[in-house]
């Protein structure tokens, strides 16, 4: 049995000596992530480290000399900022499983035991999404950023537009898998689906007489104009299928945010839509 995780973490420590235990967890986390790469259960898509003002970057599926250099630089740092994005497959009996939640759990215990002041000079955010979930994931944050102090799960807030970035849907975004009855215009449904797959996405699309199978996934939207256009097509598809298509709630995460951002887009019956943003920025 295994669970596949998509993880993004952002860590800032202004004085590692003052937060010795937190610093220890961070070092051990990177070491265990390296062990998981060697065990072929993890891959890092983006690692950016600023240790005492010196910038280093890494991406890959195995441990290299540069990764060793980064771990050494982190271990010796007095000030530290890390952004790491990685995929990880958790196997129940694998000896070197990293714990994606070890830093979040530690910081939560710090607040419970010693109060918010114990995180002065520390900021941490984490986005995680698991393949056993039907959501776009969860964002948590701890510590202070831009005048706001965070203590755990980020609640959604209603916004009018998506922040800048490339917004990726980690789940299947649109589904219409049905035997189309004679009351529905199969040509119109096909035309709408053809327009949808012009966006950056993957899809499976098959029509056999009136057996219609359409799955759109791995969708990326670049801006709010694309969101408006895509939502418009979802409304058309819902109307053409009599509401039988799965296209009324879209879930996205922002590729370009250091702190994980999630947006859910709910399409209402009257054609309007509402955006809920989950973000520590």
pLDDT tens digits, one per residue of 52-68: 999 999 999 999 999 99
pLDDT tens per residue, range 119-165: 999 999 999 887 666 666 789 999 999 889 999 999 999 999 999 99
Q: Are residues 63 and 133 in the same domain?
A: yes
**221 pLDDT more than 90:** yes
pLDDT the model gives residue 94: 61
Beta strand residue intervals within 185-235, DSSP E:
200-208, 211-221
Is residue 161 assigned to a domain? no
Is residue 270 assigned to a domain? yes
Q: Are residues 10 and 92 in the same domain?
A: yes
Nearest-5° Cα angle at 218, 213 to 224: 110
Across the chain, mean pLDDT equals 91
CA-nearest of 100, 107, 94 to 141 is 107
Q: Are residues 74 and 188 in the same domain?
A: no
Q: Are residues 30 and 138 in the same domain?
A: yes
Q: Are residues 145 and 173 in the same domain?
A: no
Is residue 162 assigned to a domain? no
Token pair in block for residue 74: 């982190």
Is residue 44 assigned to a domain? yes
Of 128, 154, 180, which residue is a domain's last?
154
Q: Are residues 13 and 149 in the same domain?
A: yes
Is residue 159 assigned to a domain? no
Q: Are residues 13 and 73 in the same domain?
A: yes
Q: Are residues 78 and 171 in the same domain?
A: no
Read off the DSSP letter of residue 115.
-
* DSSP code per residue over 68-100: HHHHHHHHH-SSEEEEEEEEEEEETT-TT---T
Is residue 265 assigned to a domain? yes
pLDDT tens per residue, range 162-214: 999 999 997 888 999 988 888 899 999 999 999 999 999 999 999 998 899 99
Full domain range(s) for residue 113: 2-154
């Amino acid at each position: 049995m295994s669970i596949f995780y998509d993880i993004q973490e952002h860590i800032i420590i202004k004085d590692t000596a003052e937060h010795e235990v937190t610093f220890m967890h961070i070092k051990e986390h990177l070491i265990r992530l390296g062990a998981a790469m060697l065990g072929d259960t993890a891959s890092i898509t983006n690692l950016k480290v600023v240790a005492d003002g010196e910038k280093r970057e890494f991406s890959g599926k195995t441990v290299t000399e540069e990764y060793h250099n980064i771990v050494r630089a982190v271990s010796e740092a007095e000030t530290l900022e890390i952004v790491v994005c990685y995929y990880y497959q958790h196997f129940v009996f694998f000896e070197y499983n990293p714990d994606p939640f070890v830093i979040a759990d530690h910081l939560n215990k710090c607040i419970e035991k010693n109060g918010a002041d114990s995180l002065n000079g520390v900021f941490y955010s984490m986005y995680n999404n698991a393949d056993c979930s039907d959501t776009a994931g969860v964002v948590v944050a701890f510590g202070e950023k831009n005048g706001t102090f965070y203590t755990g799960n980020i609640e959604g807030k209603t916004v009018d537009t998506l922040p800048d970035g490339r917004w990726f849907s980690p789940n299947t975004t649109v589904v219409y898998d049905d035997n189309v009855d004679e009351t529905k215009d199969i040509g119109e449904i096909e035309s709408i689906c053809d327009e949808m797959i012009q966006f950056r996405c993957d899809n499976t699309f098959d029509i056999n007489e009136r057996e219609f199978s359409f799955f759109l996934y791995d969708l990326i939207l670049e801006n709010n104009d694309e969101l408006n256009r895509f939502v418009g097509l979802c409304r058309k598809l819902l109307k053409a299928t009599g509401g039988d298509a799965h296209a009324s709630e879209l879930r996205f995460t922002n590729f370009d945010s250091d702190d994980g951002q999630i947006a859910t887009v709910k399409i209402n019956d009257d054609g309007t839509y509402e955006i809920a943003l989950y973000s520590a920025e």
